[in-house]
Amino acid sequence: MPRRTQSRGPCAFCFTAMTRNGLAKHLVTCSARHKIIAHADQQPGKARLLFHLQVQDAWSGDFWLHLEADGAAQLLDLDTYLRAIWLECCGHLSQFSIGGWDGEAMPMKRKIADVFPPGVVVTHIYDFGTSSETLIKAVGTRTGRPLSKYPIFLMARNTPPEEVCMECQKRAVVVCLECVYEHEVSGFLCAPHAKDHPHDNYGDPMPLVNSPRVGMCGYDGPAEPPY
């Protein structure tokens, strides 16, 4: 089977599209980002320690984020952000830990600056039934004025993966969970084929959205920016 092409996404500052790892390097030198940082640093207020966080789904390389987080913010702020942009469906429990499921849960009031020393990978788990697992690590820091009044700023995000209809190979817009779980096929369907597709169990097909939680539980898409 041919290897799937790495997902790409645009830099929020200059709109250049790159892979997740490419953007980790690009954001350090992006001239458009540095211009915005220079403008922010001229504004009133204290300089803060800010963390460049690389975020990715634990099971798929298709979904990822590059975030800038205020080191004084709490893990609760990051949890709220991840729920809004990627995860929230039914108010499930969540936790941060080092070491995955078997790691010790960290209090949500822990400061980001105390949690993300270089090289440490933090796991975020949302929903302990149909779970979504996210891996987070700091790939850099800077000291300066934040670029937003919010504690988390989105610097880059993958573009939505393009799936194809299992019936006609045109672009899919929904996924049939009955096909996925009972018939072990992709379940991806275009709008015309979804209209007449039989799905007696699991409810109607779910929309394909830019999230690793697509097709899980009651998830139907992310919040609108700024989250």
Element containing residue 174 per DSSP (H, E): strand 174-175
Q: 143 and 179 share a domain?
A: no
* Domain assignment of residue 214, yes or no: no
Q: 178 and 146 share a domain?
A: no
Beta-strand (E) ranges in 22-145?
A: 48-57, 64-70, 94-98, 104-106, 121-126, 132-144
Q: Is the pLDDT of residue 2 over 50?
A: no
Q: 38 and 84 share a domain?
A: yes
**Count of domains in the chain?**
2
* Domain assignment of residue 222, yes or no: no
pLDDT of residue 1: 34
CATH assignment at residue 59: 3.10.290.30
pLDDT in tens, 71-82: 999 999 999 999
pTM of the predicted model as reported, rounded to 2 decimal places? 0.89
Q: Is the pLDDT of residue 226 over 70?
A: no
Q: 72 and 184 share a domain?
A: no
**Model confidence at 204, in pLDDT bands (50, 70, 90)?**
confident
Mean pLDDT computed over every residue of the chain: 91
Nearest to 125 by CA among 104, 89, 100: 100
pLDDT in tens, 34-45: 999 999 999 998
pLDDT in tens, 155-168: 999 999 889 999 99
pLDDT in tens, 174-197: 988 888 888 888 889 999 998 888
* Domain assignment of residue 217, yes or no: no
pLDDT in tens, 49-96: 999 999 999 998 899 999 999 999 999 999 999 999 999 988 899 999
